[in-house]
């Protein structure tokens, strides 16, 4: 490339970046004046700092969301894929989600019930297991760092790799799980082909994957609680159970609330576990997101799948708003 042209290109890029920086600074100044002089908020600086990130996220997400909403109002499928064949059908896809089978074997309400069971069992065990491990590691133990590293390993290993290993261990003929069951006199179980046991196998694998994350979050929350609270409670004659109930648990809520919300969303939308453990494509073992995947990429019902995705998003949004309002765990962050 000609050095002269390369230099000109560098200058043009530098000038463009300079204009962008000046434009951003100008918009930030306007935003700051608006927040301070007009709205008179004390959060002017934090809002000004996060504004570019918010704008960027909106720009990156607005177009795909708008396109998906348009698809949800059409009959687009593999059969009606050309623009000339795509027609607007209003809210028919949304009505179909609730009134007709989502897949050949299951409908929305069965999938929703299975997803609620899947999410509630997993998140409950994540929290209980993470809390138990965090309380144990919060004590004075020898080799605490080694124990922590071992416990974090399931979370550190790529999820797909871990799930391939779990699927191998669930094999009916040579899997380690059935071999262990035979040692205690239990007959081998068809983990990968029986719908009920396949669902249980998915829960076990996901609990193993999720406990380390919750343990790390809760352990961080425990370490942020001052020892002065426990010393004062001990002087007042409080037992360990009372200290946990009235000190540890309430002070963990600002940490637990976002962790539980994230855990619910991740578990609710976790397609990896179901996809890799349910290799026999049993629709009766599906949850909502795997049914969404099948509707879009196996049945090729793109418009219906888009409407289905909005229904799933609405469920998660309602849960998040209700949970934050009900627990009021984030109230202290705004006071």
Average pLDDT value over all residues in the chain: 85
Distance CA 205, CA 274 (A): 10
Per-residue pLDDT tens digits for 96-148: 999 998 888 888 999 999 999 999 999 999 999 999 999 988 887 788 788 88
> For the whole model, what pTM was predicted?
0.77
Q: What is the CA radius of gyration of the chain?
A: 26
pLDDT at 334: 45
Greater model confidence, 283 or 71? 71
DSSP 90: T
User: How wide is the angle at C-alpha 76 spanned by C-alphas 71 and 78, nearest 5°?
Assistant: 140
Query: Quick one: tokens of 244?
Result: 């946990």
Candidate from 32-46, 178-192, 260-274 with smallest mean pLDDT? 32-46
Choices 3.30.70.260, 3.30.420.40, 1.10.3720.10, 3.90.1150.10: CATH for 97-334: 1.10.3720.10
Greater model confidence, 15 or 188? 188
pLDDT at 73: 93
Among 137, 164, 167, which Cα is nearest to 150's? 137
pLDDT at 202: 92
Per-residue pLDDT tens digits for 148-163: 888 888 888 888 888 9
**Number of C-beta neighbours around residue 285 at 10 A:** 24
pLDDT at 309: 94
Distance CA 102, CA 292 (A): 8
| Sequence-ordered alpha helix ranges (H) in 73-107 | 92-99
Greater model confidence, 332 or 321? 321
Domain definitions of the chain by residue range: 3-58, 97-334
If you count them, how many residues does the chain have? 335
Distance CA 88, CA 83 (A): 11
pLDDT at 212: 92
pLDDT at 7: 62
Query: Quick one: tokens of 161?
Result: 């790799």
């Amino acid at each position: 490339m000609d050095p002269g042209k390369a230099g000109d290109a560098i200058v043009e890029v530098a000038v463009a970046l300079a204009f962008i920086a000046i434009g951003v600074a100008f918009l930030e100044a306007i935003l700051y004046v608006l927040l301070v002089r007009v709205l008179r908020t004390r959060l002017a600086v934090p809002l000004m700092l996060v504004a570019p990130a918010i704008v960027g996220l909106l720009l990156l997400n607005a177009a795909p969301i708008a396109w998906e909403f348009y698809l949800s109002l059409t009959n687009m499928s593999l059969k009606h894929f050309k623009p000339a064949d795509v027609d607007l059908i209003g809210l028919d896809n949304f009505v179909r989600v609730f009134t007709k089978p989502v897949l050949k074997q299951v409908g929305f309400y069965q999938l929703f019930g299975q997803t609620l069971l899947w999410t509630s069992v997993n998140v409950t065990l994540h929290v209980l297991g993470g809390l138990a491990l965090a309380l144990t590691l919060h004590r004075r133990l020898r080799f605490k760092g080694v124990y922590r590293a071992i416990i974090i390993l399931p979370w550190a290993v790529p999820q797909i790799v871990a799930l391939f290993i779990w699927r191998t261990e669930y094999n009916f003929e040579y899997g380690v799980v059935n071999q262990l069951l035979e040692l205690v006199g239990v007959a081998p179980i068809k983990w990968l082909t029986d719908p009920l046991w396949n669902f249980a196998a998915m829960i076990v694998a996901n609990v193993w994957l999720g406990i380390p994350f919750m343990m790390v979050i809760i352990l961080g929350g425990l370490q942020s609680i001052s020892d002065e609270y426990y010393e004062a409670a001990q002087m007042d004659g409080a037992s360990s159970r009372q200290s946990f109930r009235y000190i540890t648990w309430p002070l963990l809520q600002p940490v637990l609330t976002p962790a539980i919300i994230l855990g619910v969303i991740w578990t609710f939308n976790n397609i990896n576990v179901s996809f890799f453990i349910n290799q026999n494509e049993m629709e009766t073992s599906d949850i909502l997101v795997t049914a969404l995947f099948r509707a879009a990429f196996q049945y090729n019902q793109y418009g219906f799948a888009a409407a289905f995705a909005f229904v799933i998003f609405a469920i998660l949004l309602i849960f998040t708003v209700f949970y934050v309002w009900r627990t009021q765990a984030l109230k202290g962050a705004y006071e």
